[in-house]
A and B are shown apart, each in its own frame.
Chain A
Amino acid sequence: MIAGASLGRISALLLRYLYLLRSSWPRIIEIAYWPTMQMVIWGFVSQHFSSSSPELTAGGILISVVLVWDCLFRSHISYTLSFLEELWSRNLGNLFVSPLRPSELIVALASISMMRTLIGMLPAAFLAIPFFDVSVFEMGLPLLGFFLNLVLTGWAISQFVTGILIRYGLGAESLTWVIPFLIAPFSCIYYPLSTLPSWMQSIAVYIPTTYVFEGMRALLVNGVFKPDLMLQGFILNIVYLMVGVVVFFISFQAARRHGLLLQSGE
């Protein structure tokens, strides 16, 4: 655990986000709604392609990558929306006059993000089995690695976005939705790395998600697990997460210098 961090304060903040979640059943349904809709739409697309281009859908690859990509999006959105709640409710001032440390806020946000991601993704993953005869769980242990890699990427993006939000306020809110899609074309979700033009490939190799989806294709299409791809993904994710945390702390200090913590909100 981070030096000086308190499990009590982290769980207090986590409780705050759980109360918020509990306060609205449409919110809970919504968390699972979008991944399930994605799964259904891409499931039918996959069924359509399976007759004309079976190589595109071998091993349930299309549905699997859609579900796994959504883990990144959900983890990022869950993290950042919970942070945005503090800005929308003008609560940051109250939080930071308490003994809460920024590192504890990060851990609490990551914890609620993990919970919300699982609430969102598990129903879709289970429903894909009876609906389309695709089970991502058949990937076995590597699925856990792919999942954690993408959740880490989501959190790394969230660190940058919340850093910008704390420094520049709600004017930068749209970045929450924009940034994950910025890396999507380079991530090789639906196509192999070799499909990209060389200039895009040279960027894609620095994006951790590229290794996740290349690894998934190798596993689902060729039945080969490539630990080197998994490892490269993890290394890049850890680097970006650390850089993201540094950006957040720099932004937090800048917000304290400029007196933004008391003014934050709508």
Chain B
Amino acid sequence: MKPILQTNNLTKRFSRVLAVDHLSFTLGQGTITALLGGNGAGKTTTLSMLLGLLTPSSGSIRLFDQDFIGNRFSVLRKMNFSSPYVDLPQRLTVRENLTVYAKLYGVQNVAERIDQVSCEFRLNELLDRRLRKLSSGQKTRVSLAKALINRPEFLLLDEPTASLDPDTTSWIRDFLSNYRDSREATILFASHDMREVELLCDNVLLMKKGKLVEQGSPSQLLDKYDRENLEQVFLELSKEETGV
């Protein structure tokens, strides 16, 4: 499988805090990978470095066979990101937001593409409403539509189904799975929803105190820890962490 992302000894230190400690992993093209870990494990720091928002203290990131740290602008147009903790402009309508981001990513036929993503994310009725008037679930769908606007080859998601009802969550899961299959896209997402991870992911990266402590497919982890579900595996590792 062709590697899309390779990190090698990726490290981030904030003064005395070692947030990410020599993280090395590879993501293959067309895979869905979950980045798991408790609070403060280093997930957001890792995502930030992979997005170019945070400069690593040391180590390297290769994305699409290019050095991402020194050459991020040529790679960023193939990527996108969504997080419930980063907002889109609230005073703009959904259509205006999608138009701005489509143009920022150099999307051709902007109006047509907006029609497509609004159909995919059931936003047709909301297109001319200001973002601040939407519910949190609707905002999450808009944020996902923005993340898909440029048909990214590498998609990073932070809790993609936060604030969504079970029906929409299931639909988003199917959508991401189909998107991966149809476009050979690579998806990395941080989540606390273990059920979602089991259903959607090919691989799991488990972080603890900035280090990668486990990786493998959900079934491999279940076998290794002899547990029935990933939540139990996660709790097992948390227990080790807290010493309970």
Contact = CB atoms under 8 A, between A and B. Distances in A.
A89 B87 contact: yes
B97 to A, nearest CB: 8
B92 A97 contact: no
Interface string B1-40: 0000000000010100000000000000000000000000
A240 B108 CA distance: 39
A9 B73 contact: no
B45 interface: yes
A224 interface: no
A100 interface: yes
B91 A12 contact: no
A89 B130 CA distance: 13
A257 B58 CA distance: 12
Interface residues of B, number: 36
Contact of A91 (B88, B96, B103): B88
Scoring B54, B79, B130, B146 by chain A CB atoms within 10 A of each residue's CB, the highest score goes to B54
Contacts of A94: 81, 86-88, 101, 146
Interface stretch (A16-24, A145-153, A180-188): A16-24
A111 interface: no
Given A4-B73, A90-B86, A262-B44, A24 B91 contact: yes
A254 to B, nearest CB: 9
A99 B105 contact: yes
A256 to B, nearest CB: 5
Given A6-B106, A19-B96, A89-B87, A101 B73 contact: yes
B73 A262 contact: no
A15 interface: yes
B164 interface: no
A8 interface: yes
Contacts of A9: 103-104, 106
Contacts of A258: 14
A19 B100 contact: yes
A55 interface: no
A85 interface: yes
A99 B106 contact: yes
A91 B104 contact: no
Interface in B62-118: 73, 76-77, 79-81, 83, 85-93, 96, 99-101, 103-106
B178 interface: no
A98 B104 contact: yes
A4 B51 CA distance: 19
B192 to A, nearest CB: 18
Contacts of B104: 9, 12-13, 95, 98-100
Interface string A1-41: 00010101101110110011001100000000000000000
Contacts of A6: 106
A199 B100 CA distance: 50
B177 to A, nearest CB: 23
Interface of B: 12, 14, 44-45, 48, 51-55, 73, 76-77, 79-81, 83, 85-93, 96, 99-101, 103-106, 130, 146
Given A9-B106, A98-B105, A258-B14, 4 more contacts: A89-B89, A93-B81, A97-B52, A256-B53
6 contacts: A12-B101, A13-B104, A91-B86, A97-B81, A258-B14, A259-B14
